[in-house]
Structure 1
Amino acid sequence: MAVQYHYGEFPPEELDWKRLIPVIGPASMAVARYDGTLSAVPNASLLLSPLITQEAVLSSRIEGTQTTMGEVLEYEAEGESRAIEPGKKADIQEVLNYRRALNASVKMMEDLPLCQRIIREAHRVLLDGVRGQGKDPGEYRKNQNWIGPHGCTLEEARFVPISPDRLPDGMSAWERHIHAEAQDHLVRLAILHAEFEALHPFHDGNGRLGRMMVPLYMFEKGLISGPMFYISAYFEAHRDEYYDRLLAVSRDGAWTDWCLFFLEAVRQQSEENRHKARAILGLYEGMKPRFTEITRSQHAINALDRIFSQPIFSSGTFIEASGIPVATARRILRELREHGVLDVLLESSGRRSAVYVFPELLRITEGR
């Protein structure tokens, strides 16, 4: 029989803080160490942008998309000229929409606290032009939904979220909890994430939005200095436990167990994020003198920044986005290729630009 939403049990009246406190400390310290690295990265939003793409790939993969970061960046580089089968194109577009939705949310947070309005706008962007576009983008559902095997009936479902008539009140309570006084912000974030998934307020995109809320909340509460935290790798690696722990919140009131799982995810991903950020920063600092030596150009650092922001790119995009004079930009790309810094994925042909890859950065970002 399907597990039903936990009416009247949000927020949880009590948690087992004796079990949580020993785990909160290591998670909080790991976040602080990661933020220390984040703060040391110059122009972090640019240098770490490949990590945001990788987060979008992994969060979407949990929902069943089948694409890689390399495929996403190749598609971006080649644009509409690339022949690609429709299913793969739809997967890639969902990943690109995730990134757009996150950026739109951060922009709105310049004027608004994290709230329902931001969540609805993020949902609208997330579903723009993709498979869920017919499922009321930006609007809460008016019908009962359920979670279970593909094509299952309500009776065969694994979980039945809150009823549509009680959803507006449920979302209002969720929003109030974002801004209520918190004994610990990471525990509060765990509860908010679980509650959002249980409410399942939209017909599609709930999982991705719930995970997107993690960096947004951490950024708003000052736990990290920029909205760059990548938690989906842990959830994807522990997918069955992730869903089981969420389900147990409604079935058994197992809020503390869920919080323990979430805090361990935060701890491990903070270390992983820190490791990647430090590796990217180290690569960047190491490449500064190399780019200058290879290119012998005043535009060397500009070129370096552009390539770090998009490790797979077309020569046309590079020339346009960098603002480097065309002849100089082409010479820089040629010399970086000759010195083994860049590889060519696709040679230029007619009016089609060549597509380049910066393999060292891609390896770090994908954790290879």
Structure 2
Amino acid sequence: MPEPYEPNQLPLNCIDWAEHVSLIGKANASLARYDEILQASVNPEILISPLINREAVLSSRIEGTRASLEEVLVFEADPDGDVNPKKRDEIAEIVNYRKALRLAEKNLERKPLHVNMIKELHAVLLNNARGRYNEPGQLRTIQNYIARPGQPIEQAIFVPPYPFLVPDALSNWEQYLHSEEKDPLVQIAVLKAQFELIHPFRDGNGRIGRMLVPLIMYTKGLLSRPTFYISSYLEQNRDEYYQALLSISTEGDWNHWISFFLRAINEQAMENSQKAREILRLYEEMKTRVPEITRPQYAVSAIDTIFSRQIFKASDFVRISGIPKTSARRLLKGMSEEHIIEVIRKGRGRRATIYACIPLLQITG
């Protein structure tokens, strides 16, 4: 079989800092502008919730999951609906990804990022999903590999380090995480790649690796909240993403990967900023329209509920918004008539009517 990869000791001594100066400046500036939007928002949650949903879908899609954002949200609104088992597993992966991101943000309020926290996130990620039998939350004890479907290890594209090397490699990774580097974005590039090359788990390494990007950004003080999502760029440039990672193991070419990662941060920060501005514009528009339909004291709760769920049934709307049932149902009817929300599935028998905020889905879909 191909020789297992032997991780570099961190910090690296092969970074060509001069080569990356321009991209470092652009990426840091774009990221700062994105964080300014988050900080300026009176209620950052109206931005974060739709963007987290989008990230969960796109990060899982890189790994072959095909469930759409709408399918995930419809399932959450009606878990007892008709969904084939394969699609149900895919949806579970996406829901778990979002749960892990939320847990990470909560944990980072109390303690710094560390390997045991990452294990906890991994356990959430694989819980009751396709990877449930791949030792959730545990470092791998077997030699795994990456290959095309059905191919043996002899034809592997990449063979990670021997299992007995994983704990020491992660210890070195964690020491570097908590050290200072000339530029934190370059440091994050190295940390993300090194984590995925160590491949510490039997499954879910790529998703955890992408999840680590905003968590480390927050740890390094680059973000006011750990809410930067990179999977859109990586999904659109999947071949280059994998090739840049592979070039580290095959050629020792860290600078190619660092350049790719900095471009990804720059372009993704600009896209995230644009998405955030579009979400805020829609929110402000709804703040003008919804009070015309209901009592002023209900308007903000109604809008915030829509932005937190995007697709929902009436009982969820009542529960989350806290609006009295009679007023809430009247409000749903009024918002539907004004096309603020749309009925995407009419209720029948015991099946509830499902509503969606189509403009918000168009922004984040």
TM-score (norm 1): 0.97
- Counterpart amino acid of 2:17? W
Q: Secondary structure at the match of 1:142?
A: coil
- Counterpart amino acid of 2:38? L
Task: Tell me the distance in 2 between the aligned counterparts of 1:56 and 1:215.
Answer: 13
Q: Secondary structure at the match of 1:341?
A: coil
What's 1:162 paired with?
Answer: 161
TM-aligned CA deviation for residue 213 of structure 1: 0.3
What's 2:256 paired with?
Answer: 257
What's 1:175 paired with?
Answer: 174
Structure 2 residue 308 is the aligned partner of structure 1 residue 289: no
**Closer, same or farther: CA 181–14 of 1 in aligned 2, 3 Å:** same
Deviations 1:47-87 (A, max 9, x none): 330110110100000000111111111111112x2111111
What's 1:336 paired with?
Answer: 335
- Counterpart amino acid of 1:15? I
What's 1:131 paired with?
Answer: 130
Deviates more, 1:45-54 or 1:194-203: 45-54
Task: Tell me the distance in 2 between the aligned counterparts of 1:297 and 1:352.
Answer: 31
8 A contact 1:344–1:355 mirrored in 2: yes
Q: Secondary structure at the match of 2:355?
A: strand
8 A contact 1:123–1:138 mirrored in 2: yes
- Counterpart amino acid of 1:205? G
What's 1:31 paired with?
Answer: 31
Deviates more, 1:334-343 or 1:46-55: 46-55
Q: Secondary structure at the match of 1:345?
A: strand
What's 2:60 paired with?
Answer: 60
Structure 1 unaligned spans of 5+: none
Q: Secondary structure at the match of 1:160?
A: coil
Q: How does 1:38-53 map to 2 (within 5 A)?
A: 38-53=38-53
Structure 2 residue 145 is the aligned partner of structure 1 residue 149: no
- Counterpart amino acid of 2:183? D
What's 2:20 paired with?
Answer: 20
Task: Tell me the distance in 2 between the aligned counterparts of 1:303 and 1:179.
Answer: 42
- Counterpart amino acid of 2:172? A
Deviations 1:227-264 (A, max 9, x none): 11110011111111111100111111111110000000
Q: Secondary structure at the match of 2:264?
A: helix
TM-aligned CA deviation for residue 294 of structure 1: 2.1
TM-aligned CA deviation for residue 29 of structure 1: 0.3
- Counterpart amino acid of 1:167? V
Q: How does 1:103-252 map to 2 (within 5 A)?
A: 103-252=102-251
Task: Tell me the distance in 2 between the aligned counterparts of 1:129 and 1:313.
Answer: 23
Deviates more, 1:145-154 or 1:90-99: 145-154
Q: Secondary structure at the match of 1:48?
A: helix
TM-score (norm 2): 0.97
8 A contact 1:3–1:158 mirrored in 2: no
What's 1:354 paired with?
Answer: 353
- Counterpart amino acid of 2:123? R
**Closer, same or farther: CA 327–8 of 1 in aligned 2, 3 Å:** closer
Task: Tell me the distance in 1 between the aligned counterparts of 2:299 and 2:45.
Answer: 20
Percentage of pairs with the same residue: 47
8 A contact 2:9–2:172 mirrored in 1: no
- Counterpart amino acid of 2:84? E
Structure 2 unaligned spans of 5+: none
CA RMSD of aligned residues (A): 1.3
Structure 2 residue 314 is the aligned partner of structure 1 residue 315: yes
8 A contact 1:3–1:250 mirrored in 2: no
Deviates more, 1:37-46 or 1:228-237: 37-46
Task: Tell me the distance in 1 between the aligned counterparts of 2:108 and 2:265.
Answer: 23
Task: Tell me the distance in 2 between the aligned counterparts of 1:296 and 1:243.
Answer: 53
8 A contact 2:126–2:136 mirrored in 1: yes
Task: Tell me the distance in 1 between the aligned counterparts of 2:2 and 2:241.
Answer: 18
Task: Tell me the distance in 2 between the aligned counterparts of 1:287 and 1:245.
Answer: 43
Deviations 1:185-244 (A, max 9, x none): 100000000001100000000000000001111112121111111100111111111111
User: How many equivalent pairs are there?
Assistant: 365
TM-aligned CA deviation for residue 348 of structure 1: 2.0
Deviates more, 1:81-90 or 1:38-47: 38-47
TM-aligned CA deviation for residue 105 of structure 1: 1.4
